[in-house]
Amino acid sequence: PAHHLHPGRSVKVVNGNIALAYGSLRAILKRNNVESELRRAARHEKKGYKRRRLRSERWRRLFADQAR
């Protein structure tokens, strides 16, 4: 379900409250898994490791839905 993803990475600063805007930006980036993607893109990932990671992420997602 990609309905919670934001296409851009910008937020509005309301009444000069930069701390609130920064917090909401960090929340958006965390929801979109930007930090983990950057960490993964820093180094090459072998095909087998990638396949194993994707399988594990898929399993975690499915199990999390069943656990709720």
Is 2 part of any domain? no
Report pLDDT for 4: 62
The number of domains in the chain is: 1
Is 11 part of any domain? no
Alpha carbon 67 to its chain centroid, in Å, reads: 21
Percent with pLDDT over 90 in the chain: 44
Is 4 part of any domain? no
Is 19 part of any domain? no
pLDDT band at 55 (very low <50, low <70, confident <90, very high): very high
Question: Position 35: which residue type?
Answer: E
**What domain range includes position 61?**
33-67
Q: Write the pLDDT tens digit of every residue in 29-46.
A: 888 888 888 888 899 999
d(CA 6, CA 27): 11
Is 44 part of any domain? yes
- pTM of the full structure: 0.57
Non-local (6+) Cβ contacts of 21 within 8 A are: 11, 12, 13, 14
Other CB atoms within 10 Å distance of the CB of residue 48: 8
